[in-house]
Amino acid sequence: MQVKSHSRNLRISSSKVEPVASLIRKKNVSDATKTLKFTRKKAASFLLQAVNSAVANATNNYGLEEDNLYIRNILIGQGPTFKRWRARARGSADEILKRTTHISVILDEKVLTSERKVKERVLAKKKRDQEVAKKRSEKEKKKEPQKKPTQDLGQLSRKASEETLEDKERLSSLQEKKEKGKGQKKRRGFLSKFFRRKAE
């Protein structure tokens, strides 16, 4: 079974990608990824992404084994070119062509597996994913704190009004005490001049 993946509009020229792609054609997936990791070219990173996405498609969508896959072909096509301008002598301008590429990776199996097995693997993986999702949701529900019962707006307004009344009463009592203290000090003011003692 063939599996494909496409990478579009990559900001690199197709002439720079082709020599790196020729290194990994007809190779196992594991060998190809190793060679791409150790090649010091910009094209290697783009090709590695394309190969990894093709492997992910094969394992997740079709239930194929990664060890049984190899790179059947890599197609490299020219994408749209971006045109920019460079200033030249005597007020003229030269055109800069910034080229892009499309990469298509085609994987195939070394030993063919029947369609039944592929379907069974896909169904089994779906079941596993569903079970994992259920377990996660149960854990999240347990972790969530229980919501407190909501109070009526009427009760809240009553409480607020009661609290404001209590505050007003406290303030009024404090003011009365202050006024009383001031009055006592004024009465005592004349006598305090005559009887100034250190004991006080």
pLDDT digits (tens, 9 = 90+) for 97-143: 999 999 999 999 988 876 667 677 777 777 788 888 888 888 888 77
Selection from 69, 50, 60, 51 nearest residue 2 by Cα? 69
Question: For residue 43, which amino acid is it?
Answer: A
| Predicted local distance difference test score (pLDDT) of residue 33 | 96
* Stretch 87-94: mean pLDDT: 96
Do the strands 82-87 and 3-10 form a parallel or antiparallel pair, or are they unpaired?
Answer: unpaired
Q: What is the spatial distance between Cα 42 and Cα 53, in angstroms, rounded to a whole number?
A: 18
Per-residue pLDDT for 175 more than 60?
A: yes
**3-86+95-125 belongs to which homologous superfamily?**
Ribosomal protein L22/L17 (3.90.470.10)
Whole-model pTM: value is: 0.60
